[in-house]
Homo-oligomer: A and B are copies of this chain.
Amino acid sequence: MKVYFVSDGTAITAEVFGSAILSFFDIPIEMQSVPFVNTNDQANGLKRQINLEVANGNAPLVFYTISDILIREIIQSCDAHCYNVFGDLLLPIEKALGVKALPTAQKAHGMKAGVYDARIEAINYALANDDGASIKNFDQADIILLGVSRSGKTPTSLYLAMQYSIKAANYPITEDDFSAPGLPKVLRPYKKKLFGLTIDPDRLHEIRTGRMASSKYASPRQCRYELEEVESLYRQERIPFLNSTRLSVEEISAKVMAEMHLVRHRQ
């Protein structure tokens, strides 16, 4: 089933909402985003295209977020099933707040002063402090992710920066770290910021094989050994940790935020 996400902005809200509500249904979907629909002409062009698909027997679903009433009416008048993402909730919220909704285009994913700088700073921080690159900046970290190579540290750090403007450093635990007892020295002053990732040995073997097939690094034995050691380190040092095997980056990040009581720097 083809699904259109139509918006006068980025269409991200329509995408997120539409894919979430469609995840309740066991049907394959083909997503097509149409962002920045800001003129009647653009809306009418899209309407013709959608009506043609309906006429050809391929009626799509349409989710939209559009502020301008005229443009909204053009989309709503397509022959397909069209859903206004905010449709039925704007009025009750107006009532609850005792404030009228602004008639101008809202910009849910537009640039917000201050917030934006915090976010870019967090992204730069994550990049500069990826893979233990710059341990001297750990005092600025909101969180330091630990884990063996390929257990999900880097994508998680970047997502925490992008979504929550959280400064996440990450530090790879390697075989060398297991020879001495306790935490690597550089981490000891930051114990409260540490959060561990682990992963199932089979999955780690699979991922590492994709990078470096038939290496000692990717061998089931090495993966098992490193994971046993790192989990025992987490337990001994009472570092909170989670297994990333069946989790998306979004889920890992949301769990880390909740467990570490981190507060987003974006509002």
Contacts and interface: CB of A to CB of B under 8 A. Distances in A.
Interface of A: 1, 9-13, 16-17, 19-31, 33-36, 61, 65, 81, 83, 85-90, 92-94, 96-97, 99, 101-102, 106-112, 116, 119-120, 123-124, 127, 130, 154-155, 158-159, 162-163, 246-251, 253-255, 257-258, 264, 267
Given A30-B267, A61-B96, A162-B162, A111 B24 contact: no
B90 A83 contact: no
A251 B97 contact: no
A242 to B, nearest CB: 11
A102 B124 CA distance: 41
Contacts of A25: 93-94, 97, 99, 101-102
A101 B13 contact: no
B109 A250 contact: yes
Nearest to A258: B35
Nearest to A117: B210
Given A111-B251, A254-B36, A106 B20 contact: yes
Given A20-B65, A23-B106, 20 more contacts: A9-B251, A10-B248, A12-B163, A12-B254, A16-B17, A16-B108, A17-B17, A17-B85, A20-B109, A21-B86, A21-B89, A30-B267, A33-B257, A88-B88, A109-B251, A111-B251, A112-B248, A119-B155, A127-B154, A162-B162
